[in-house]
Structure 1
Amino acid sequence: MAGARSALWSLTMTAVLVGLGLAVIAVSAVVAHLTVGLPIAVPISVALVGCLAFAVGLRLLHRGWWLTLLSVLPALFVLVGTVQLAPESVLRERGVAQQVTITDVQTVGKRHEFVLQGDTGRLDEPLVYRGSSPGYRVGQRLTVLVDPRGEVELADAQDVDPAGKRGMLVLGAAGWTLLALVGGWRGHVSRARGRAATAPPVVF
């Protein structure tokens, strides 16, 4: 009976953890969409808190650190997917495509601001790239998507891929689900062994 109760408890906690992971993804995605136009720190903070909550739950379920460390990879998919899906979806839905030419660039550290010239004049908003190798050059022609409401930064049309971000969320959810199942099983086995080791000897 004790073993059956333990198995049921492990199964229930595993299901709860899987549900938590899916809830984190759903809530983070909704918050990201609702806060479009606000500082990006808002959806990032919500997603980070959710990822941390899942990691803590997995640690309690499995009683080991290695699965918790492995959960970092799907957490990155969840974080990037939820934060970038909202603005890219906005640009895909209502963004206006414009053919532009890069006429100048201003660099501060790893932040590159490319000045854009369209068919009707210079764009008020630059193309921003954060990193060491932007891959753009002065004189280059490209297509950008501009949010007519000005809530989302313009972006290179080739980089706007909401479907890819949804795929990242699916990978993150699949990874968390797999780790929760493994953690639930190994945690159950570990607790069963602990009970067997502490059980009183049978006297005949």
Structure 2
Amino acid sequence: MMTPAGSADEPPAEAVTPWKSVRRTVALVIFGWATAVGTAGIAYLTLGSEWIPITVGVVLCLAFAVALLLLHRAVWLTVLSSVPALFVLVGAVQYAPEAALELRGVRENVVIVADSAAGTSSNDHRFTLRAKNGTELEEKLGYRGDVWVPKVGDRLDVIRDPESEVPMEQADEVDAAERMGGLIAGTVGWTLIAVLAGWRGHVRRRRGKGESLLLQLAY
């Protein structure tokens, strides 16, 4: 004898409350913003050592991706989140040194007198610079690439850090506001994806798709 659907013999489905889904979504959004702020803060505290904020940022971005996957259990959303994650990572790591150069950097007009990569196939250039007063700067200007490479004899405007914590850069490449804009754009992108994942995850669970064991244990 068949048991009618929805009879008392069936185990009751777990109630899926909107508040629980909202709480998970808000937690993920807060974690995303904390990742952006935390990585930028670490970059500021470790000026001159990019590997530390890069490593921390990568770990936190991966943690956000895993949390997003647990929230919605959709790989496509996790892959999509890698785009704003790149903006967050690059913006957070590069904002601090460029902001330091803008705040305390010394701007100088210099001429290139030597290139470490001259006559070689290397695209990793280290330029020796001479200031207007005729003295050579102790610090070298680094340039990696083979497109639009400055040549010996070219004049450049550079910004150098008097405390020698941040590498010298060409003045027209220092733009802290642009890095901050990328950081904010990436974080907003994360926020929108997290909200989408939270809503779709709630709908999936209401339709009986179930939720991960890790979420059940955590909540």
The equivalent of 2:105 in structure 1 is 95
Pick aligned residue for 1:27 from 33, 38, 42: 38
What CA distance in whole angstroms lies between the structure 2 residues aligned with 1:16 and 1:48? 19
- Structure 2 residue identity aligned to 1:74: P
- Structure 2 residue identity aligned to 1:79: L
Larger Rg: 2
The equivalent of 1:151 in structure 2 is 165
The equivalent of 1:174 in structure 2 is 188
Pick aligned residue for 1:77 from 87, 91, 94: 87
Per-residue deviation, 1:133: 2.1
The equivalent of 1:63 in structure 2 is 73
Q: Counterpart of 2:125 in 1: which secondary structure?
A: strand
The equivalent of 1:187 in structure 2 is 201
TM-score, length of structure 1 as denominator length: 0.89
Q: Counterpart of 2:17 in 1: which secondary structure?
A: helix
List alignment gaps of at least 5 residues for structure 2: 1-12, 211-219
What CA distance in whole angstroms lies between the structure 2 residues aligned with 1:93 and 1:170? 21
Contact 2:16 2:206 in 1 (8 A): no
- Structure 2 residue identity aligned to 1:62: H
The equivalent of 1:202 in structure 2 is none
The equivalent of 1:110 in structure 2 is 123
What CA distance in whole angstroms lies between the structure 2 residues aligned with 1:132 and 1:140? 16
Q: CA RMSD in A?
A: 1.7
- Structure 1 residue identity aligned to 2:153: G
Q: Counterpart of 2:127 in 1: which secondary structure?
A: strand
Per-residue deviation, 1:134: 4.6
What CA distance in whole angstroms lies between the structure 1 residues aligned with 2:129 and 2:109? 9
1:134-193, Cα deviation, whole Å (9 max, x unpaired): 531221111100111111111001001000011011101110001001111111111112
The structure with the greater share of residues assigned to helix is 1
Pick aligned residue for 1:162 from 159, 166, 176: 176
- Structure 2 residue identity aligned to 1:113: R
Are residues 141 and 195 of structure 1, via their aligned partners in 2, closer, same or farther at CA, if it must alter by over 3 Å? closer
What CA distance in whole angstroms lies between the structure 2 residues aligned with 1:68 and 1:12? 19
What CA distance in whole angstroms lies between the structure 1 residues aligned with 2:92 and 2:18? 34
What CA distance in whole angstroms lies between the structure 2 residues aligned with 1:124 and 1:117? 9
The count of corresponding residues between Structure 1 and Structure 2 is 194
What CA distance in whole angstroms lies between the structure 2 residues aligned with 1:195 and 1:82? 37
TM-score, length of structure 2 as denominator length: 0.84
What CA distance in whole angstroms lies between the structure 1 residues aligned with 2:184 and 2:89? 12
Structure 2 residue 60 is the aligned partner of structure 1 residue 47: no
Contact 1:112 1:134 in 2 (8 A): no
The equivalent of 1:135 in structure 2 is 149
List alignment gaps of at least 5 residues for structure 1: 197-204
